[in-house]
Amino acid sequence: MEKFDTLKSTNNARSGLKWQVVKKFIISEVSSGKYRPGDVLPSENYLTDKVGVSRNTIRQAFEELEKEGYIYRVRGKGTFVSRPAPVKNTNKSSIFGLVVPEIRRSLYPSLVQGFGQEQAGKSQQTLICQTNNDVHQQGNIILQLLHCGVNGLAIVPVTIGQTPVFQIEMVLDSGIPVVTCHRAIPGADVPVVTWNRELAGQMACREFLKLGHRSIAYYGVHRYVVTEAHVAGMRQTLRQAGLSLPDTHIVWDPPSDTSEQDRCKQEQFLKLLNSENPPTAVFCSDDNEAERIYWLLTDKGMKVPDDLSIISFGNSLRDTVFREHLTSIVVNEHEQGTLAARILHEMTTGKRPINDSEVFVMDLNVYRGITLGTPAFKKA
């Protein structure tokens, strides 16, 4: 730590408040490039011994440096040099990007609305981009947003494939904050706004079990981290009740991206309904998949919930006639978008470090529609 030997001699030679001397010295070290963004600074205890000033002096210098955005602290990890803040253009409003896999599905429209309204309230513009659930297209969009000079980025990662961490790191390296929604990106130290996906599966099964269902199925858009968590939660709750969720009662492949793939999955589900141990209830990964199952049953002359009960997962805003009647485990997606925008604002204004990794967990609730009832054998 030769850098701070110089500080010790400077401290002994100069007059003025000692904490100001420490502060100015650290600023000069950062400005000269001796400490780069992301570097960890020595601990307060080390500096107290090395520099020859009290711990309160070091602490006061650090507090002032943190207020001015030169450093940030991570509990249990240390004090770090901040990345340079994005250059602020006072002649026009800030621009923030929101990247989602698509706009159509039940959760995304409210997320977009919540995010956009919060940004508009701060006179900030929003660029909405959809990746079509393609990780390569997602990378190209991020590059385009960087070229446009966005001040912050919120992203719902693709559900097919794994988002490479470098897509996020290149944004952070440009001094631009990032928030992920719905799920984290492994290796990326950024805030996450999400919900407990296993809890969603647990809550659905509890509702089924209350009414006497013992053979329960799962129908997912496709197999990925969210649907796997749904299944894990369902299995945990069923196991506690002395029941199981066999693999034969899980339908989640192939991905529902084409009408042909949808048809294959629906045929698979019909075979399950005609098996020796047919389910009396199904938990669907989202409102879109629940709607597919509902109309499939109707087309085959079956009734909901008399022949099969349905619980879905979706947005707390039940914005269609079908969703008004669908029993669902719900999350407030509008509030999730609002929260993501607020977190970005905190990071761009220095109130939150750019590489903060706090996880914000949204509440889940049960929306009671008419698609949940007792199993047929209970009614007989």
- Each residue's pLDDT, cut to its tens digit, for the chain (380 residues) gives 555 555 555 554 444 477 888 888 777 777 667 777 778 888 888 778 777 788 888 888 888 888 777 788 777 778 888 765 444 444 456 899 999 999 888 789 999 999 999 999 888 899 999 999 999 999 999 999 998 899 999 999 999 889 999 999 999 988 899 999 999 999 999 999 999 999 999 999 999 999 999 999 999 999 999 999 999 999 999 999 999 999 999 999 876 667 788 888 999 999 999 999 999 999 999 999 999 999 999 999 999 999 999 999 999 999 899 999 999 999 999 999 999 999 999 999 888 988 889 999 999 999 999 999 999 866 54
DSSP label at 188? -
The b-or-e profile of 305-330 (16+ CB within 10 A means b, else e) is: bebbbbbbbbbbbbeeeebeebbbbb
pLDDT score at 73: 79
How big is the CA angle at 370 (ends 291 and 263), to the nearest 5 degrees?
20
**Rg (the chain; Cα; Å):** 26
pLDDT score at 375: 93
Residue listed under structure tokens 């991206």: 257
How far is 106 from 97, CA to CA, in rounded Å?
A: 20
pLDDT score at 273: 95
In this structure, the number of other CB atoms found within 10 A of the CB of residue 370 comes to: 12
How big is the CA angle at 333 (ends 362 and 129), to the nearest 5 degrees?
125
pLDDT score at 309: 98
Q: Which helix (H) or strand (E) holds 330?
A: strand 328-331
Strands 192-195 and 309-315 turn out to be unpaired
Q: Which of 330, 329, 319, 252 is nearest to 292 (CA)?
A: 252
Contact between residue 68 and residue 27 where contact means Cβ atoms under 8 Å apart: no
pLDDT score at 135: 94
What pLDDT, in 10s, does the model give residues 86-141? 444 444 568 999 999 998 887 899 999 999 999 998 888 999 999 999 999 999 99
How far is 255 from 260, CA to CA, in rounded Å?
A: 10
How far is 107 from 226, CA to CA, in rounded Å?
A: 13
Residue listed under structure tokens 């429209």: 109
What 3-state DSSP class applies to 375? coil
pLDDT score at 7: 57
DSSP label at 259? H
Strands 250-251 and 328-331 turn out to be unpaired
pLDDT score at 86: 45
Q: Which helix (H) or strand (E) holds 99?
A: strand 95-100
Contact between residue 315 and residue 331 where contact means Cβ atoms under 8 Å apart: yes
The DSSP line for 120-164 is HHTT-EEEEEE-TT-HHHHHHHHHHHHHHT-SEEEE---SSS---
Q: Percentages helix, strand, coil for the chain, rounded to the nearest 5?
A: 45, 15, 40
pTM confidence score: 0.75
Q: How would you class 127 by CB atoms within 10 Å of its CB: exposed for 0-12, middle for 13-18, buried for 19 or more?
A: middle
pLDDT score at 153: 97
The first and second tokens of residue 371, run together, are: 């698609």
What pLDDT, in 10s, does the model give residues 300-356? 999 999 999 999 999 999 989 999 999 999 999 999 999 999 999 999 988 898 888
pLDDT score at 378: 61
